[in-house]
Amino acid sequence: MAIARIGRGRNSVRLRRYNERLLLQVLRRSGEASKADLARRTHLTSTAIGGIIQSLEESELIVYTGRRTEGQRGQPATLIDLNPKGAFGIGVRLDRDSIETALLDFGGQILARRVHEGTLPSPDETLQLVLDDIEEVLKAITPDEQERLAGIGVAQPFNLGAWLRELNLVNPDFRAWDDVDFAFELGEATGLPVFSENDGNAAAIAELFYGCGREFDDFIYIFMGPVIGCGVALNGDCLRGVTGNAGDIAVMPVPPSRLASAQAPKGKWDLLLSRASLNALGRHLRHSGVEVSCHADLERHIRAHHPAVEEWVEDCIDALTPAVRSALCMLDVPVVVFDADVDAGLVDLLRKRLAQSLADTAPEARGVPELVRGSFGSDAGAIGAASLPMFFSFSPRAELLGGGAKSTEEMRDGE
């Protein structure tokens, strides 16, 4: 009997936590709402909604924003919304050529940011840099607000030392990164819960929590950065896979490029990242005799419609189309979200060309997904990393009901 009572108690706690997060999600997606609105949209009773609102108010996650007066009979309804200062997340984005640390509020706004450009240093040097940056960005909020930190998110490629040849990186030695769990080390150094994902998953989670996830629960997310990244959203959650690399479209095999700038592959097949990436675009522009040393250079040539840009776009779409079609066949999602580290018209151009190519090659009885522009552009990495503690702390993920997953903080409490 004691076991049954404990089980019921745990289930009740899980259910209440899930419903609290469900209510927060409704507010995040729709904006301010009354208690009656929330009861209708969550299918919870007015009594349950009242208890949840009281709990969320005590936690300072919601605020009262006024009263609805239009179209109402009787007493105006009190409106509730998310409190942007109700929680904060720190994001650390590590890449082969940069380190970025950002502070995000509950509303999804970046409050402070620190960036270091250049080859990623050793794990020890990086840890000290990040610790200093965290101290700096936290100055943007008060000591009381710092008590509402949900944790730290770390977004990084999980194979930093791989594919350096394809990325034209011949000098960096990232072998030390193969033997370190940076997220664990950061958690030990700060005492905060740390959530780690590859950079594609992190950016997809940002879309789920703060971007296109307000409209769509199921989509493939593609990000055109130095290396092409991808994440998969299913049923409002991020598909991770056994190693956390589900959706790793970058290493899909594709035929070799026909561009004169392309490196010859080692075998019959090339990797998608060799053809569909900003690194490939920069390589082709340099082969065409123009200087490219930063994203601003890329955008200048994109905006000027340099012939080499058009040549790369054609080659990129030629490689990207079968990769996306293969992913759609496996996942059966209705939406592809597309974003990039640079713009100057590139995002809309690639979306348009990809949609046309998918339509031209669609199998019988299969259509074309909706291609949606991503929400964050060059901020996707920083917001993606900082979204991780927010998502895992405040999203109504189904595994909460089964108790299948624990946060870093919960695992520490259980040790």
First to last CA, the chain: 27
pLDDT of residue 264: 87
For 125, phi then psi, to 5°, come to: -65, -40
pLDDT in tens, 338-353: 999 999 999 999 999 9
| pTM, full prediction | 0.87
Distance CA(296)–CA(278), nearest Å, equals 12
Beta bridge partners of 88: 105, 149
Name the band, by pLDDT with cuts 50, 70 and 90, for residue 397.
confident
Q: Residue 111: which H helix or E strand, with range?
A: strand 110-117
- 3-class secondary structure, 347: helix
Distances (CA, A) of 184 to 189, 191, 361: 9, 10, 45
Distance CA(199)–CA(155), nearest Å, equals 5
Residues in the chain: 415
Q: 104 with 386: CB under 8 angstroms?
A: yes
Burial (0-12, 13-18, 19+ Cβ within 10 Å), 367: exposed
Q: What is the CA radius of gyration of the chain?
A: 23
Whether 68 shows a pLDDT value over 70: the answer reads no
Q: 298 with 355: CB under 8 angstroms?
A: no
Name the band, by pLDDT with cuts 50, 70 and 90, for residue 322.
very high
pLDDT in tens, 36-63: 999 999 999 999 999 999 999 999 999 9
Residue type, 250: A
